[in-house]
Amino acid sequence: MTLVAGSWLAQSGTVQTQGSTPAFMLGRLALVPDLSGALWLPDERTLVVADLHLEKGSAYAARGVFLPPYDSAATLAALAAAILRHAPARVIALGDSFHDIHAESRIAPGNLATLRQLQQGRDWLWITGNHDREIGPAMGGETVAGIEISGVALRHEPDRDEAGFEIAGHLHPAAKVRMRGRALRRRCFALSPRRCIMPAMGAYAGGLNLRDAAFRPLFLEGLSAHLLGDGRLFRIDERLLLAD
Amino acid sequence: MPSPLPPAFSAWFASRGWSARPHQLALLEEARAGRSTLLVAPTGAGKTLAGFLPSLVELTERGSEREGLHTLYISPLKALAVDIARNLDMPIAEMGLPIKVETRTGDTSAAKRTRQMERPPDILLTTPEQLALLVSHRDAEPFFASLRRIVLDELHALVTSKRGDLLSLDLARLRTLAPQVSAVGLSATVREPADLQRFLGGTQTPAGLVTVTGGAKPRIGILQTASRLPLAGHTTGHAMGEIYKAIGRHKLTLVFVNTRMQAEFAFQALWSINDDNLPIALHHGSLDVAQRRKVEAAMAAGKLKAVVCTATLDLGIDWGDVDLVVNIGAPKGASRLMQRIGRSNHRMDEPSQALLVPSNRFELLECKAALDAVAEAAQDTAEPRIGALDVLAQHVLGVACSDGFQAGALYEEVRTASPYAGLTRADFDAVVNFVATGGYALRSYERFAKLRQDKAGLWRASHARVIQQYRMNVGTIVESTMLKVRLGRARAAKPGQPSRITSGGRMLGEIEEYFAETMTPGDTFVFAGEVLRFEGISGNEAICSRAPPGTDPKIPSYNGGKFPLSTFLAARVRAMLANPREWAALPEEVSSWLHAQRLKSRLPKPGELLVETFPRGGKFYLVAYPFEGRLAHQTLGMLLTRRLERGRMRPLGFVCNDYGIAVWGLGDMTAAIAGGRLSLAELFAQDMLGDDLEAWLAESALMKRTFRSCAVIAGLIERRFPGQEKSGRQVTMSTDLVYDVLRRHEPEHVLLKAARADAATGLLDIQRLGQMLTRISGHIVHQPLDHVSPLSVSVMLEIGREAVYGEAADEILAEAEAMLIEEAMA
């Protein structure tokens, strides 16, 4: 059993453990952050992923910036690995799954086939985001603006006026720490007792530093950062986080 | 014999009491024969006039009929082009020649540029980047059709970088556009003039050579300090009083240092003892441009007594009557030292005066080696470059933006550029494919192609937007991300909340982002001659406040030297160490330091690598002395710690400087070597450059920086301009992502090939490391010790000064995580 000690989590007594992986509670909903950047909801057998930004590479290429055309394949491979690990009954993509509304016209047939295959035998929910307000039927799944699970709202863009509990994406949180003269910047989950902002999963999705003003109104009571390391997640005290 | 000079010229020379020098006439004759020529001459030999004389004579003989551009002059510095324009004005005006001279730099107005294309001057002075833009212009062909002569100034300085690669390609283009053109290269003394001759004339028709020897020998001394010479450190604080006195005795002194931080320190230290209120100024690349221009003007006007400066003043602009050059710290290379010394007494018949001030004992050895090298006029000019593929990609796009090209013909043309003589057709085609559609095995971008072939097989830019992109991205200088330094304050906030930073104060200059990253709010550092308190980063600005008077600056990290110790000087230092007979010429404290080393440990023989191991403070140390420069040592350290990790030596970190490297860990390396569990021969075996290197490159921040620079130069990523993009930091982030994806999916891609070639000679200096491993193979001597040796102290003292490397990302994160747990348990 791993003991997760620390300020608000320990005090508020919301720590549970799930096998060897710590789980966190948002109200009644248990969350397990995954090293891939996905979020596993064990009680719901649901895998949540955020900001896949599929076809971002080809969107740049259309403007004459020829980024390597492997981002969609890489993102789908990460997604497939997470699905294989958890065998979810349902996958929820938290918006900005596609970099733009024309992604459908550019996605390689092989990648589309991979995506459709991942959808086999499970529910698949696309929540729309600011990059993908429309998602064509060719992409499979069901498209919604948001959904509520066990009293927790799942939406693309965090709502600072949310009085209840919320899981959102959109901001691509990343955190920077420095130890022994070396700075590291990694994607991360930003967690508080009421809110979870998920890291972007897309291979070409950049990160916004947790110190950015955009996070402040969302975490007035503080936050804990869970950084995606190479071998596991690392929970870093808010006071150690640096601005860029 | 009739004078080869027209009467007006002979009269002009006579009126000034001069006569044309033999090399000036030699160049005239070569030019008349249509031959390209390299002129190698010391400072003050009248190089510039020699370079322009053939053009001036020809233009005079031609008379006033305009035929378009006649001579193109290229200098590495914008300021130098402007300076030369001024110098040319004098003979032209005095002889009343019908010649029009203009400059074209980044500062030239759009209207003037347009006018220059329509009605070119006779002589155009410009920089390599502007030349690239001209060559890619849609009217390049008519514009250059009349070109007769190219003058390349400071050629030795131009050819050592990617700028040189770009220049060589543009010269090849000019030889095609203007087959009658010949080139004149002006250069300081170099080791292999043949390399420059090939560069100048092209591989098919190397340029001829005119050498001017002689000139007064420089008078160089090493400062014999009355105080104790430190074992380590780079500030040279001990010698400031003596430097100050030397400044007082001279008209104008240039105090050269190797890094911006040394410049700040020296400036601060000199002013703290400036009882006579001597006008001493500061000049380095991070200062605000307006500030630098002010200093330059004051120098030219004779209003200054000394200027503390970095490499920004290395190159040949004469800002004033410099009569002493002080070089603080080690010179790092004999040629660089010569270049700097040449800044003083810009007349050939008077000796230059220079004073070398080593900041520690190793640097004293290096100064001595450099002095001997200068006395023998030995040079350590770098090996000729192998042309970079990212630069070629930029050039290919440029040619496509002008008239388009046939692949076969352009390939042949490119190979006449000496850096690209060995370019394979396969690499050339890969570059063309890269420019056209990204060059990926997965050919999914065909429909977005930037280049398309027309019916005749001519490759052309597919769209006006492509041309615009090219023009925004031209050039090979990729600056590291800079933050503006602005005065402001951090407002105290509630505990636990990040403090608010208010800015809006004066802009002081710029610092590298990675330097700002090493600081924590509250740290003090010296900048622009003041002690500043770092408040935090806000957007693209590092907000700082003025520290209270009397604050001792805490300089968190000495940012090494920009230039690593040259191979050539390193060999001399190693030889000096191995030969006690040479120690007599060294100051007593240095020779007794070496004697103590011989007594307590040992000194390596020539060709040997000394490795010492010893315990200290509960840890175990391994110190080696390859003398291969900081960059190669850093790479060595990364690879050694990986191997020690595998050998269960539990390494914790390492530091290095130009001379040696110290690794420490929890495993007893002395015992492991004695027990046969650790083999130094295997530890330093050449195969570390195989899988270990590959594995490290996958995550190396230096490699990612190298890749980013290649991606920008090759035009994969657009160059960002201030205010145009949110922040350079997001760019860094995204090229890292691109690097990861590309490396995993297409490791043989041409851009990764370019980045690897850069890493071999650039930030990772792998090539030099490889040569070292070959050199020492079978020649490692191990000295187990009970404690620190005299020599090792100088390396060990870097601990705490230099960033410590060696931890994997996860270990660093685990340590940060543990800090939280410790606190919770307390």
Q: What is the DSSP string of B586-615?
A: S-HHHHHHHHHHHHHS--PPTT-EEEEEEE
At a CB cut-off of 8 Å and minimum separation 6, what does B376 contact?
Answer: none
SS3 category, B662:
strand
Contacts of A70 in chain B (CB under 8 A): 440, 442, 741-742, 744-746
Question: CB contact, 8 Å: A217 with chain B?
Answer: no
Query: Structure tokens of B569?
Result: 């000087």
- CB-CB under 8 Å, B816 with A68: no
Instruction: Tell me, rounded to whole angstroms, the distance of Cα B375 from its chain centroid.
Output: 25
Q: Where are the domains of chain A?
A: 7-240
**Interface subset of A 161-180, CB within 8 angstroms of B:** 174, 177-180
- CB-CB under 8 Å, B805 with A68: no
Place of tokens 């030699």: B26
Question: Which among B450, B737, B803 has the least Cβ separation from residue A204?
Answer: B737
pLDDT at A19: 40
Using CA atoms, how far apart are residues A222 and A241, in angstroms rounded to an integer? 12
- CB-CB under 8 Å, A6 with B817: no
Contacts of B466 in chain A (CB under 8 A): 64
Query: Structure tokens of B50?
Result: 């020699």
For chain A, what is the HEC assignment? CCCCCCHHHHHHCCCEEECCEEEEEECCEEEEECCCCCEEEHHHCEEEECCCCECHHHHHHCCCCCCCCCHHHHHHHHHHHHHHHHCCCEEEECCCCECCCCHHHHCCHHHHHHHHHHHCCCEEEEECCCCCCCCCHHHCCEEECCEEECCEEEECCCCCCCCCEEEECCCCEEEEEEECCEEEEEEEEEECCCEEECCCCCCCCCCEECCCHHHHHHCCCCCEEEEECCCCEEEECHHHCECC
- CB-CB under 8 Å, B733 with A185: yes
Question: CB contact, 8 Å: A213 with chain B?
Answer: no
Using CA atoms, how far apart are residues B325 and B343, in angstroms rounded to an integer? 7
- CB-CB under 8 Å, A68 with B437: no
Contacts of B810 in chain A (CB under 8 A): 229-232, 234
How do B609-616 and B530-538 pair as beta strands? unpaired
- A:B CB pairs within 8 Å: 147
pLDDT at A111: 97
Contacts of A191 in chain B (CB under 8 A): none
- CB-CB under 8 Å, A235 with B819: no
Query: What would the pLDDT profile of B419-474 be if each residue is shown by its tens digit?
Result: 999 999 999 999 999 999 999 998 889 999 999 999 999 999 999 999 998 998 88
Per residue of chain A (244 residues), what is the pLDDT tens digit? Answer: 233 333 333 333 334 434 445 688 999 999 999 999 999 999 999 999 999 999 999 999 998 889 999 999 999 999 999 999 999 999 999 999 999 999 999 999 999 999 999 999 999 999 999 999 989 899 999 999 999 999 999 999 999 999 999 999 999 999 988 776 567 889 999 999 999 999 999 999 988 989 888 999 999 989 999 999 988 999 998 888 887 7
Q: Which chain B residue is nearest to residue A106, measuring alpha carbons?
A: B444
At a CB cut-off of 8 Å and minimum separation 6, what does B331 contact?
Answer: B337, B340, B356, B366, B367, B370, B569
- CB-CB under 8 Å, B814 with A186: no
Going across the sheet that includes B541-546, the strands are B507-512, B482-487, B541-546, B530-538, B524-527
pLDDT at A14: 38
Q: What is the CA radius of gyration of chain B?
A: 28
Question: Which among A64, A69, A184 has the least Cβ separation from residue B813?
Answer: A184
At position B509, the amino acid (one-letter code) is G
Q: Which chain B residue is nearest to residue A184, measuring alpha carbons?
A: B809
Question: Which among B439, B746, B804 has the least Cβ separation from residue A181?
Answer: B804
- CB-CB under 8 Å, B444 with A58: yes
* A51 in Cβ contact with A170 (< 8 Å): yes
Question: CB contact, 8 Å: A15 with chain B?
Answer: no
B1 burial type by CB count under 10 A (0-12 exposed, 13-18 middle, 19+ buried): exposed
Q: Which chain B residue is nearest to residue A10, measuring alpha carbons?
A: B824
How do B482-487 and B507-512 pair as beta strands? antiparallel
- CB-CB under 8 Å, B463 with A236: no
At a CB cut-off of 8 Å and minimum separation 6, what does B815 contact?
Answer: A179, A180, B807
- CB-CB under 8 Å, A239 with B718: no
Phi, psi torsion values for B154, nearest 5 degrees: 50, 45
Question: Which among B448, B517, B815 has the least Cβ separation from residue A183?
Answer: B517
pLDDT at B639: 87
pLDDT at B234: 67
Q: How far is A243 from chain B (nearest CA, A)?
A: 7
Question: CB contact, 8 Å: A230 with chain B?
Answer: yes
pLDDT at B164: 94
Question: Which among B803, B820, B825 has the least Cβ separation from residue A235?
Answer: B820
Nearest C-alpha neighbor of B431 from the set B468, B403, B459: B459
Instruction: Give CA separation, B690 vs B694, B695, B746, B777, in Å.
Output: 6, 9, 19, 16
Phi, psi torsion values for B287, nearest 5 degrees: -75, 155
Nearest C-alpha neighbor of B327 from the set B304, B355, B297, B306: B355
* B306 in Cβ contact with B247 (< 8 Å): yes
Contacts of A185 in chain B (CB under 8 A): 733
Q: What is the CA radius of gyration of chain A?
A: 17
Question: Which among B445, B730, B744 has the least Cβ separation from residue A66?
Answer: B445
- CB-CB under 8 Å, A182 with B803: yes
Q: How far is B60 from chain A (nearest CA, A)?
A: 49
Looking at the DSSP bridge assignments, the partners of residue B510 are B484
Contacts of A177 in chain B (CB under 8 A): 812-813, 816
Using CA atoms, how far apart are residues B257 and B719, in angstroms rounded to an integer? 30
SS3 category, B304:
coil
- CB-CB under 8 Å, A211 with B498: yes
Contacts of A37 in chain B (CB under 8 A): none
Contacts of B821 in chain A (CB under 8 A): 5-6
- CB-CB under 8 Å, B718 with A237: no
Which domains can be identified in chain B, with CATH numbers?
A: 7-211 (3.40.50.300), 219-375 (3.40.50.300), 389-477+701-760 (no CATH), 482-546 (no CATH), 601-700+764-812 (no CATH)
Question: CB contact, 8 Å: A181 with chain B?
Answer: yes
End-to-end alpha carbon distance in chain A: 35
Q: Which chain A residue is nearest to residue B746, measuring alpha carbons?
A: A68
This prediction's pTM: 0.83
Q: Which of B501, B726, B733 to mutate to test the interface with A (most CBs of A within 10 A)?
A: B733
Low-confidence ranges of chain B (pLDDT < 70): 1-2, 43-44, 64-66, 215, 233-235, 312, 314-320, 345-349, 377-378, 380-382, 479-482, 490-504, 513-521, 526, 528-529, 537-539, 550-563, 720-733, 799-809, 820-826
Query: Structure tokens of B814?
Result: 């685990």
Contacts of B440 in chain A (CB under 8 A): 66, 68-70
Question: Which among B445, B746, B749 has the least Cβ separation from residue A61?
Answer: B445
Torsion of Cα atoms, B174 then B175 then B181 then B187, to 10°: 80
- CB-CB under 8 Å, A5 with B821: yes
Question: Which among A67, A206, A234 has the least Cβ separation from residue B816?
Answer: A234
Contacts of A62 in chain B (CB under 8 A): 448
B494 burial type by CB count under 10 A (0-12 exposed, 13-18 middle, 19+ buried): exposed
* B187 in Cβ contact with B158 (< 8 Å): no
CATH entry, A7-240, from 1.10.3470, 3.60.21, 3.20.20, 2.40.50: 3.60.21
- CB-CB under 8 Å, B737 with A222: no
> Which residue pairs from A103-107 have beta carbons closer than 8 angstroms and sit at least 24 positions apart in sequence?
A103/A54, A103/A55, A103/A58, A103/A59, A103/A132, A104/A136, A104/A138, A104/A139, A106/A55, A106/A58, A106/A59, A106/A62, A107/A54, A107/A55, A107/A58, A107/A72
Place of tokens 């890291």: A199
**Interface subset of A 120-149, CB within 8 angstroms of B:** none
- CB-CB under 8 Å, B437 with A6: no
Q: What number of H helices and E strands is found in chain B? A: 32, 27
- CB-CB under 8 Å, A230 with B810: yes
Using CA atoms, how far apart are residues B183 and B206, in angstroms rounded to an integer? 10
Contacts of A110 in chain B (CB under 8 A): none
Mean pLDDT for all residues in chain B: 84
Q: Which chain B residue is nearest to residue A11, measuring alpha carbons?
A: B824
* A95 in Cβ contact with A109 (< 8 Å): no
Contacts of B439 in chain A (CB under 8 A): 66
